[in-house]
Structure 1
Amino acid sequence: MLAIAIGTELTGPFIAKRIIDVHIAGIEKPWYEVNAGAVDSVAYNGAYWKRGDRIQPNEQVKEARVLQVGRDFVFVPGGIKEDGERSINLKADGALELLITKNNTVSKYNAQQLMKEQLFAFYEPEIGSVIRLALISLALIAVSALFSYGQRYWLQASANRIIQRMRDDVFAHINRLPIRYFDNLPAGKVVSRITNDTEAIKELYVTVLANFFSGTLYIFAILGAMFLLDIRLALICMLIIPVLVVWIIIYRKFAANYNRVIRSTLSEMNGMINESIQGMPIIQSFRREKKQEKEFEAFNKRYFDYRNKMLNLNSLTSHNLVGVLRNIAFIALIWYFSGISLGSVVGGVSLGVLYAFVDFLNRMFQPIVNIVNQLPNMEQAFVSAERVFVLMDEEGEDVSDEKMARYKGNVVFDNVAFSYKDGEPVLKGISFEARQGQTVALVGHTGSGKSSILNLIFRFYDVDSGSITIDGREIRGIPRQTLRSHMGIVLQDPFLFTGTIASNVSLNNPAITRDRIEKALRDVGADRSLSHLPKGIDEPVIEKGSTLSAGQRQLISFARALAFDPAILILDEATSNIDTETEAVIQDALDIVKKGRTTFVIAHRLSTIKSADLILVLDRGEIVERGTHDELMAVGGKYYQMYELQQGKKGAGQSRTSGSSTSVGTPAAVL
């Protein structure tokens, strides 16, 4: 479509050249007397005349010329021998005399001035051809417009599909990335790459490549047309191409650095905005508003400064430089034509060629302007693409659709070691076994490794050494998504998605029916807490469930875990953020939720895990005690100290002041 659009558009100057040279300036070609009534003949002074290029050579008998002198036209019987500088002399008898001067030699010819009606008669045979050419030109313009529209439409539609697919791929890739990747990358920066950077890449396809490709094709098509008109002038205009290439190289050298800072700063601003919104209660509670404003202003100032640098660079190298190139090209054109004459002499050019060349030269600079104007977008798109593809190049793991039968849930840790950073182990030689239906509680101070054990069971991370098996099968041999299909988790701060209460329980899983949703809510005791809502379980939930109480969110989270019927259930401090009444409801529901499942519980409230089948006490990545509540209390070790401390008994004070290296520390460290 682009090729056809350019081809049809560039025929315009050739048609104009033909109209000028053949049908307008062609009147100055030799005329010959013909018989009356001959086609395209013109009656003048009792005879009929026809242009020499339209009759046979053997019919060229009596010659005459129609020549323009100043603003007047004269008829010259007998023609002229050689053309040159023309002038008219009025003789004493009133007759006109045509003077043609060349090389200081003056030739004189009798001439007759043509009135308007007589001049129009000589032009009349050309009117039909001029109208036909004008209609052809109009039709070609319409074709060019139609194909230009189609080219732009399909190009932009393709660009939109590319960006749509790219965003899908980036978002899907994020789901494939390990949790470790997000430990050091703020959510706002990820969002910026998916939205802002991909939108900048869209400009690469919609405008940058469109203008570069069409502009380059257009320029070379015009140069080709120029070579058809005049090789010497075309060669002079070819000098613009290397100038343009050098220009782009120099521009990119500076613009690339500016755009990298601009895109990275924008990403950091998005990250800070996201963090500020998430932490607004803390910011306002601790009166950090002004401090946050100053930190944001620092990012905003850097963004502003580098935007201005890009503005200065673009101002220096855009229209100004194009204007200089255009003026140089026109100076070359004037210099070239100043040394030759217009007409049929050797080295001269016709008026049609001159018109076409000026037209082509003007047309050639329009795509150059378009290309130059897209240089900022091009650099911005390249930098954005670099940022997106850095993300895409991160090693991920394909989401598996593999299905497996529900396993029993016998979990065995065998001498497991793990670290988030090399050389900083958080788990050392962890070994234990949890059988189907058992409840295993993990207790210990902050940083002891409780959550790390749960992260390994879920395969958010993989072990450094040792092994974890479920029903005797090493979990690293099971795809992560397949492994998690029979696991459920309830977090300390449950996450609810935008939607309804029902959709948050089922997570829009078609296998979970409405009856199953309602049963799960009843089993965990949530039906009583949610019954007062106007729409019941169809009550809308906004981001993170902020309109619901902490207890309601937690009950919904428990119902979600129950609805998915997991073989392994993980409760990560699931009752630490709720009130005593709701906790009592959940404790009653836990007996239902745990039934037939292997359950792992992290709890700082030790009173909630007294019924656990196995309690593992962790300290600095190692299991220092294990057993039931009664067994551990009988030992009188770390667990005993923690429990007594929480109960507020005298032994707590003694243990806290005993100086033991295994002391838990202050109540704040426990709670």
Structure 2
Amino acid sequence: MTFGPSARRLIRRLDPDRPKLLAVIALAVTSVVLNVVGPKILGHATDLIFVGVIGKQLPAGTTPEQAIAAARASGNDNFANLLAGMDFVPGRGIDFGALGTVLLWVLGIYLAASAFAWLQGYLLNDVVQRTVFRLREDVEDKLNRLPLRFFDGQPRGELLSRVTNDIDNVSQTLQQTMSQLLTSLLTVIGVLAMMFVISPLLALIALITIPLSMIVTAQIAKRSQKHFVAQWAHTGSLNAHIEEAFTGHELVKVFGRRPEVEEVFRQRNEELFKASFGAQFVSGIIMPMMMFIGNLNYVAIAVVGGVRVATGSMTLGDVQAFIQYSRQFTQPLTQAASMANLLQSGVASAERVFELLDAEEQAPDPAAPVPPTVRQGRVEFDHVSFSYDPEQPLIEDLSLVAEPGHTVAIVGPTGAGKTTLVNLVMRFYELDSGRITLDGVDITAMRRDDLRSHIGMVLQDTWLFGGTIRENIAYGNPQATEEQIQAAARATFVDRFVRTLPDGYDTVIDEEGSNVSAGEKQLLTIARAFLADPSLLILDEATSSVDTRTEVLVQHAMAALRSDRTSFVIAHRLSTIRDADLILVMDAGRIVEHGTHDELLTARGAYHRLYSAQFSGAAVTDEEEATAVR
């Protein structure tokens, strides 16, 4: 979308390897100079052969001047002019000794040029791969600094496409274009200089192709640029759909939505096809056009050069060298033009990566953070307000206190702000106003890592990574001993099903956790939180996937875990929070009721309606049931 600035920004990322880049340029200059000198020396070999062939046909014993005069006397002025431009000896044939020396020089020059070119490619490959390595590191660091709000608005497949496909495309572009563009530029300069040395007239003829080539390339590239931007945008969109469809593959099958999924895939695949075809077709026109211009240039040089040889203004070797130079001159221009599609594609991908790198980051940690001194777990909300969308307020002027060792249960209808409340404690989102304190310290005055080191969290959506069961449990405390890991597993009833597995704690779980049940996955995440030994525990429907008997056992284990710890429990099944020290009933971001289980039932308010809807639905009135549903 902004080719020039994006390309310059991409090139600036090579700055850390500037010494190697300078070495690359020096090697490229040396290689190009040797390649440029080669045709001129090879032209001298052609002159030796041609002079030998012509000299052999002339009578021995005569001088060159006599041979030229004889040709003019016979009326062959063109042949006389040809002889006048040559250094020949009548009667002498080809000097094979001199010819062999020249050819050996040419061979040595081309071998040296190839060696320098190989070394240049080796160093450039190192520079490019290190640059892409740093780019991947920067993207990884950036992802860790982005707020959760950013990920909420990005399809995972689209984000993965930027991190993988687009960076790989940038790597390929730098690898394939940098060396060629550098060599092409130096070759054009070197060849042009040699062409002016040999024949300024023919050099001017060759120069006509430069503005013509630039105009053609610029006009075509301008039309193909938008297609490359669309190509990579559609690639990200298609990847997002594929990732989404295969993540929910079972549900797609269950609800019979495969035709709709396939139709969306077909449409997005068609859009990607059209964008890719347009980008490659339009940019692909550049190469044939450049070849056509190059051939016109070749014909013009051959005709004019032939006339000048016939008139004695140039030697045949110089014309041969000039024709080679004309090929060397147009070939870099053609190569550069043929790389326009690759270059545009790479810069389009670079733009998408730069957009990610330029995304607004979460607020930085304070310069002088307050270190946590006590681990009691007292949490206070002081006139807190927060909204995802400024136009739609969610939590307004909320105040509450969770005392150390107390269990605070949060209930309410979907969308009431229950999970948002604990996300604010974790600083996944920043407050609009008010403050939250942990043990008397404002959480914004603490480093996020220090804050979260106090907190253990178990979510309804379980997350396990590819590794052993032992490694997944130890994720909560990497320094834990084997005894501590197994103790946490026994406390959360993980140990009993792990013992039934052939490899026990060494059982490898795949990235999707498909080789353990949903309930077992949730137990593993609970064991992970147990092992972390936090002062503040957050349980977001942590037992939603376990059976009733296991849930009772886990509730007892959690009761032991919650002793001397503050716990926030988000629950939809109200039977799990009867023993909570404080129950908060939320609706539309506000706490509409608070108290113990018995107090709230006695009050016969919102909590009573929710409880009745779950356990005595037939006994409630129609009005109460409608209210509970709302």
Taking structure 2 as the reference length, the TM-score comes to 0.89
Aligned to 1:10, which of 15, 36, 39?
36
In structure 1, which of residues 360, 368, 371 is the aligned counterpart of residue 333 of structure 2?
368
Q: What do the CA deviations read for 1:402-455 (whole angstroms, capped 9, x no partner)?
A: 875563211100111110011201112211001111110000001111011011
Correspondent of 2:199 among 222, 230, 243: 230
Go from structure 1 to structure 2 and tell me whether the alpha carbon gap of 1:602 and 1:103 turns closer, same or farther (over 3 Å shift): closer
Greater mean alpha carbon deviation, residues 580-589 or residues 358-367: 358-367
Alpha carbons of structure 1 residues 553 and 153: separation in structure 2 relative to 1, 3 Å: same
CA distance in 2, matches of 1:551, 1:77: 108
Which structure is larger by alpha-carbon Rg, 1 or 2?
1
Residue by residue over 1:61-114, the C-alpha shift from the partner in whole angstroms, topping out at 9 and shown as x without a partner, is xxxxx746xxx3433625436848949xxxxxxxxxx835339999xxxxxxx9
Residue 398 and residue 2 in structure 1: after superposition, are their counterparts in 2 closer, same or farther (change >3 A)? farther
In the alignment, is residue 483 of structure 1 matched against residue 451 of structure 2? Answer: yes
CA contact (8 A) 1:502 1:537 kept: yes
Deviation digits for residues 472-491 of structure 1 (CA, Å, limit 9, x no counterpart): 11112222222112211101
Hey, what does 1:596 align to over in structure 2? 564
| Aligned twin of 1:74 | 59
5 Å-filtered alignment, 1:624-663, equals: 624-648=592-616, 651-653=619-621, 656=624, 663=627
User: What residue is the counterpart of 2:349 in the other structure?
Assistant: 384
Distance in 1 (alpha carbons) for counterparts of 2:540 and 2:457: 7
Secondary structure of the structure 2 residue equivalent to 1:583:
helix
| Contact 1:84–1:101, Cα closer than 8 Å, also in 2 | no
Provide the rounded CA distance (Å) in 2 between the counterparts of 1:79 and 1:306. Answer: 68
The answer on 1:558 being equivalent to 2:529 is no
The residue type paired with residue 62 of structure 2 is P
AA aligned opposite 2:330: F
1:554–1:185: structure 2 CA closer, same or farther, 3 Å change rule?
A: same
User: 5 Å matches for 1:292-331?
Assistant: 292-318=261-287, 320-331=288-299
CA distance in structure 2 between the aligned counterparts of 1:630 and 1:104, rounded to whole angstroms = 122
C-alpha contact (below 8 Å) 1:504/1:560 kept by paired residues: yes
Note the residue ranges of structure 2 that are not aligned, 5 or more in a row: 1-26, 82-88
Q: Distance in 1 between matches of 2:556 and 2:606?
A: 28
Q: Which amino acid aligns with 2:406?
A: Q
Q: 1:3 to 1:536 in 2, by over 3 A?
A: same
Residue 405 to residue 357, structure 1, CA distance change in 2 (3 Å): farther
Give, as a single letter, the amino acid of the residue that structure 2 aligns with 1:271: A
Q: Secondary structure at the match of 1:396?
A: coil
Q: Does 1:149 align with 2:106?
A: no
After superposition, residues 468-617 of structure 1 pair within 5 angstroms as 468-507=436-475, 510-617=478-585
Aligned residue for 2:308, secondary structure, equals coil
1:254 aligns with 2:227: no
Q: Distance in 1 between matches of 2:283 and 2:138?
A: 33
Q: Which has the higher contact order (CA 8 A, sep 6+)?
A: 2
Residue 298 (structure 1) shift: 0.2
Is the contact between residue 374 and residue 439 of structure 2 (CA under 8 Å) also seen in structure 1? Answer: no
Structure 1 residues 406 and 142: CA distance shift in structure 2, 3 A? farther
1:455 & 1:356 partners in 2: Cα distance? 74
Picking from 218, 228, 237, the partner of 2:187 is 218
d(CA) in 1 for partners of 2:377, 2:419 = 19
Aligned counterparts of 1:80 and 1:351: Cα–Cα separation in 2: 20
The match for 1:414 among 382, 385, 403 is 382
CA distance in 1, matches of 2:265, 2:550: 40
* 2:247 aligned with 1:278: yes
Structure 1 residues 508 and 599, CA, compared in 2 at 3 Å: closer, same or farther? closer
Q: Which of residues 664, 667, 670 in structure 1 aligns to 2:628?
A: 664
Please say if residues 570 and 600 of structure 1, whose CA atoms lie closer than 8 Å, have aligned partners that are also in contact. Answer: yes
Distance 2:50 2:363 in 1: 73
- Conserved 8 A contact 2:221-2:283: no
For residues 104 and 267 of structure 1, do their structure 2 counterparts lie closer, same or farther at Cα, with a shift above 3 Å needed? closer
Which residue identity does 1:141 align to in structure 2? Y
- How many positions carry a matched residue from both structures? 594
Offset of 1:340 from its aligned partner? 3.2
Matched residue, 1:441: 409
Separation in structure 2 between the aligned mates of residue 437 and residue 609 of structure 1, nearest angstrom: 15
Secondary structure of 1:544's counterpart equals coil
- Per residue, is there more strand in 1 or in 2? 1
SS at match of 1:521: helix
Give the Cα–Cα distance (whole angstroms) in 1 for the partners of residues 476 and 584 of structure 2.
36
* Maintained 8 Å contact 1:399/1:481: no
Judged with a 3 Å threshold, the aligned counterparts in structure 2 of structure 1 residues 583 and 20 are, in CA distance, closer, same or farther, namely same
Query: Which secondary structure state, in structure 1, belongs to the residue aligned with residue 451 of structure 2?
Result: helix
